[in-house]
Structures are given as structure tokens and as C-alpha cells.
Structure 1
Amino acid sequence: MSIRMLRTLIAVDDHGTFSAAADAVFVTHAAVSQQMKALEAEWGVTLFDRSRRTPQLTPVGRAMVAKARKVVAEYDALVPSVLGDDGLSGELLLGAVPTTLTGLVPLTVSALRKAWPDLRVRLQGGLTNALLREVERGLIDAAIVSRPGHVPEGHVWHEVAVEDLVLLAAVDTESDDVLELLRSQPFIRFSRDAVVGATIEAWLQDRKITVTEVMELEGLEAISSMVLCNMGVAIAPRRSVHTMRPLPLKRLSLGPDAPKRHLGVIARADSLKTRAIDELVLRLRGAVAVGELTPETARLRDVV
């Protein structure tokens, strides 16, 4: 057995097929097949069900992949741990939901890089559920997401902000009555594939509010622009870090029982980037305390 073989086994799990794994680890399809057979022979177990056209990991195979991830992670951390690198150098692979990418994330990452110049942050946008899968599979170190209904076992959740959901309406809309607007105006829906979209849908259903849906979008900027052009009304988070010159819209409270979005960072409990993630969380909370992305706040040495 070698670390190289373990990396190949993990690549098969990540990419689904021997061919895709071969491309990921820069070997041939035949080499992947040979390495997997060698692992099965050495361990005396069946890693793959080969009765299907595309070999699938067996339950034992999936368990071995989980162990292999830990072994490879420990191996990758061997030299840094000896040299005293506590995770504040190298690369932090970070996912983030789109609504954070124009205010919260730039202010945070800028401060993080100023404090720890040897730490490089590589960003990846995506919706919460997709990013959760990326964290679980070890493809990214952490993600800034809406809190899911259930935090997966073996993961840690760091809450950063709680954002009220509000009704967005054009400024020349005559009424400020939320229920009237929802029932009378076209509704621009926040994607139900997003956790916040599911929260909005549950709130509407609980109150038996029937809306006339005209479109379903993922990005807050796109939704806000549609509302500005009188295409309808929408429900969206009141962002914890505002950008300069936000679009002129009515932002109407949904009342004392308004739904909220819990925004935070999720990571694997066994992550080797724990210190970097802690520093990230610290600066996220600092950015929320600042509350606005401007040239002045962007120049701050730190937002803690």
C-alpha cells in the first residue's frame, strides 16, 4: 500500500468512475484498476462491486475511503506539524453562498489575508446543500452557508450572523402591507434549492399565503434588480454586511415572527485547518460588527 494508492481510492469516490479518477490523479484508467485490485489483495477485502457496468464502492469500500481520507490528511500535515506550521499558511479552500460574496466575504477575506499573509484563500461559490457535500467529502476546508436543518455528524457549526428575511418591493409600490403585496403582486421566488428558499416556502405555507410566482432565481442581486424594475415582490435576507449604494427598494418587515437566516461556517471536526477556520470565524464576526463594505472599511487592518 502507498499514499498514492490511497489518493487514487479517494479520487474514485470523489469523481464516481475509474476514468474520472484517472484524470484527477494523472494516471491511466488501467493504472487505477490495477491499484484498486492491489489494495483489495493486500487488505483481503472487496472494495468494489464490479457486477455493474460502473464499479461501485461496497459498504466496506466506503468505510475504507473514510479512513483513507484521515491517513492522507495526516500524511499531508506531517512536515507542517514538525516545522510548527499551525495551519495559518498554505491554502484554505473556502466555499460561500452567493449572497455573501459581495459584502461579508470580501471584507472578511481581506482582513484575514492582512493578518496572515502566508495564508491563501481560494473561494468557491455555491448553494448551501452543494457546499455541505463538498465539505463532507473533504474537497473544501470549510463553507460559509445558511445553517442546514441538521448539522451532519462529525462536523462543527460556527454561527456568524442572524439575518431577518424581509419583503422587497419597488419604491413606487403604493401599499406597505406585506400580506396585500404578497397576494396581489407577482412573486419572484428565492431558489427552493437554497436553504433560505426552503425557509421562505415553509413560512408562506404555514400562513397559507398563496403567491403568483413569475420566476425563481438564485442570486440576491438578480432578484433585487427584478424588483427594482417592477417585475414583482420577493422575500430575501436583510444582509448583515451591506454594500455601498444598495438598490433603492422598500425592505418591509415580515412582522415579529419573521423567518430568519442563520449564517455561519461549517467544517469537518477532524479538519487540519482548525486554526485557520477559527481565524476566519473571528473575522467574519468582526465584519458583521462593522456591518458595511466601503473603501474605508476595506482598508481596515483588521475587523476583529
Structure 2
Amino acid sequence: MTITQLQYVLAVAEHKNFTLAAEKCFVTQPTLSMQIQKIEDELGILIFDRSKKPIQLTEIGQKIVNQAKNIVNEADRIQDIVDQQKGFVGGEFRLGIIPTIMPTLLPMFLNNFIKKYPKVKLVIEELNTEDIIFKLNNGHLDAAIAATPLNEEKIKEIVLYFEPFVAYIPEGHNHFNKKEIEISDLNLDEILLLQDGHCFRDNVLNLCKRSDNAEAARFQLESGSFETLIKLADEGLGTTLLPYLHTLDLKETDKVKLRHFTEPKPAREVSLIYPKNELKIHIIDALRSTIAGVVKGAIVFQNVQIVSPKPVK
């Protein structure tokens, strides 16, 4: 069997369709099917149950796919080992970033990074945490920037910074005249939240308590935009919480509505995460040092209380 045949097996296992897998591997469907048939004949087993739609792995097929992932990933690392030995910082590097970090952090470091490391081709995807974990574990990402701790067995986390939460309190609200607020001031029933799937939503849910005499919600909102939450708060429909970096670009008329928490300030931990068997450490170190260089002046908070990004059970 060959590495190429194993790559074809992994493609079919992922997409559950021979035609789509062939497209992703840039070969014809008959070629891919023939190569998978060869490996099945060589092993004397069926990897896929073709009678089911979509195509399913057989029991032995699942075990073979698990091992094939290890083999293909390790084969891909050979060039990484050579590059690291030569001190070469270059090649393709696939980076995932969660949506609530992408728009504020990426513009801060991207230009610096590509100027300093012009031979690195960054391929950046905006993904939620669940998709990031899946892609890291399946070799589709080299690293990611996400809220931590995630406590994933196969993923290593390097903390980049702690980002406090800041409350956005519109005029007329009973906490508007406070200089600082307490966590106990928060009422989950009036806080506007991002849509499900955003870890920042889970941060807020883990931080806040629901009122004992909560009334039924006046409306249901699903938004992935902090800007939408701010506008709704200004309309008197509630308050919201923002990540600190997001507040830096607000208009001055909106900044007067921001209220910081008393210390220790509730905050999220933002980390560079990557598979424990990742060998592109030279690029990871370059990313870490570049990001650390740009955020150390923007975020200087130390006395913080880390809030979990894991979904509420």
C-alpha cells in the first residue's frame, strides 16, 4: 500500500462519497475507486460499506482509518523536520481563528508577520471552536487561536493573553452611573448574547446568573455580530458584554457606555493551540512572538479571573 492510497481512503472516510473525495484529491473517481479497491484486495477486507448511503466505514475500516491518519500525518512531517533543521521558516501554514477574535486580533499582527516571514504562506480560516478542534485532530489545521482552556487530550495550548470582559450599559439603565460594576450586577435575563456556537456566548453564560423571578423573553435573537448587540442595547432592549479588544475601535459616543469590572476582572484566556505531534514549531514560535509583541501594549491586565469557554451543561 502507498501513502497516496491511504490519502484516498481518508478522503472517502471524511466526505462519505467517492466522487466528492476524488474531486478533493484532484483525481478521477475511477482512479480513486481503483486504488481503494487495490488496498482492500491487498488486506483482504472491506474498508467501506458501499451498500449504505452515505457510504459508511466497516468496523475494521474505522480502525484502518485511525491508523492511516497517523501514517499520513507523520509522512507529511518529514519536510517539517528538514525545514526545522535548516532553520527555514516557510511553507504553507493553516491557521484557524474563532469569530470573536478574528476581526480584532488579525489586523494587529498579520501585516507584521507576513513582512517578517515572507516565505510562510498563511491559510487562515474563521471557524468556531468545535470545528477548530475537529480540524486540528484530523490534520486539516496546523494551529488555531481560540479561547481556552479546552482540556483536549491531543491539543497543546500556549497562552497569548488574557482579555477582560467589558459591559456595555446604555444610558437610562440603572447601572449606567456606576464607574465600575460587579459580576453580581449582571442579570442574564437582560444580557444580549451571541448566537449559539460562539464560545464567547458560553463565556457569558458561565459568568452570569439567571434571575430567580425571570420573565419570559420578549424576543429571541440569534446574531453573530457584536455591532448588532450594541445597536439593540442602544434601543433599550438590554445590555451586553464585549471582549476588551473590541471596545478599542468603538466610537467615542459609545465608549462612554462601557463599564469595566472590579478586580479580579472576569476575562477569557486566548491561546495559540496546536496538535501535540505538530512539528511546525518554528512557525508556531514565530506566530507566538509576533502576536505577543503587538498585544503586550494593548492588553496590560493581570489581576483577572478566567471564565471557561466550555458550553454550559
TM-score by length of 1: 0.80
Gaps of 5+ in 2: 300-313
- Name the residue aligned to 1:20: 20
Matched, 1:275 2:279: no
Q: What are the superposed Cα offsets for residues 204-225 of structure 1, whole Å, 9 maximum, x if unpaired?
A: 3477584746423223333334
1:105 and 1:56, CA in 2 relative to 1: closer, same or farther beyond 3 A?
A: same
SS at match of 1:163: strand
1:13 and 1:221, CA in 2 relative to 1: closer, same or farther beyond 3 A?
A: farther
Give the Cα separation in 2 of the matches to 1:12 and 1:22. Answer: 8
Paired residue type of 1:281: R
Displacement of 1:5: 1.1
| 2:98 and 2:145 in contact (8 A); partners too | yes
Q: In the alignment, which of 218, 234, 245 is matched to residue 239 of structure 1? A: 245
Q: In the alignment, which of 287, 290, 303 is matched to residue 294 of structure 2? A: 287
Q: In the alignment, which of 216, 221, 226 is matched to residue 215 of structure 1? A: 221
Gaps of 5+ in 1: 293-304
- Name the residue aligned to 1:166: 166
| 2:80 and 2:280 in contact (8 A); partners too | no
**Deviation larger for 59-68 or 139-148:** 59-68
**Deviation larger for 48-57 or 8-17:** 48-57
Paired residue type of 2:232: M
Displacement of 1:167: 2.0
Give the Cα separation in 2 of the matches to 1:247 and 1:72. Answer: 54
Give the Cα separation in 2 of the matches to 1:243 and 1:267. Answer: 30
Paired residue type of 2:72: V
Aligned-CA RMSD value = 3.2
Paired residue type of 2:93: L
Q: What are the superposed Cα offsets for residues 186-231 of structure 1, whole Å, 9 maximum, x if unpaired?
A: 5421223122212212333477584746423223333334334544
SS at match of 1:54: coil
Give the Cα separation in 1 of the matches to 2:40 and 2:232. Answer: 56
| 1:168 and 1:251 in contact (8 A); partners too | yes
| 1:240 and 1:291 in contact (8 A); partners too | no
1:13 and 1:171, CA in 2 relative to 1: closer, same or farther beyond 3 A?
A: farther
**Deviation larger for 187-196 or 80-89:** 80-89
| 1:92 and 1:120 in contact (8 A); partners too | yes
Give the Cα separation in 1 of the matches to 2:195 and 2:3. Answer: 41
- Name the residue aligned to 1:127: 128
Give the Cα separation in 2 of the matches to 1:272 and 1:144. Answer: 17
- Name the residue aligned to 1:189: 193
1:195 and 1:210, CA in 2 relative to 1: closer, same or farther beyond 3 A?
A: farther
SS at match of 1:170: coil
1:229 and 1:154, CA in 2 relative to 1: closer, same or farther beyond 3 A?
A: same
TM-score by length of 2: 0.78
Give the Cα separation in 1 of the matches to 2:188 and 2:198. Answer: 23
1:1-304, aligned counterparts within 5 Å? 1-79=1-79, 81-82=81-82, 84=85, 86=87, 88-151=89-152, 153-171=153-171, 173=173, 175-176=175-176, 182=187, 186-205=190-209, 210=214, 212=217, 214-239=220-245, 242-243=248-249, 245=251, 248-249=254-255, 250-256=257-263, 259-291=266-298
Q: What are the superposed Cα offsets for residues 73-122 of structure 1, whole Å, 9 maximum, x if unpaired?
A: 44344456446555621111111112222332222222222221111212
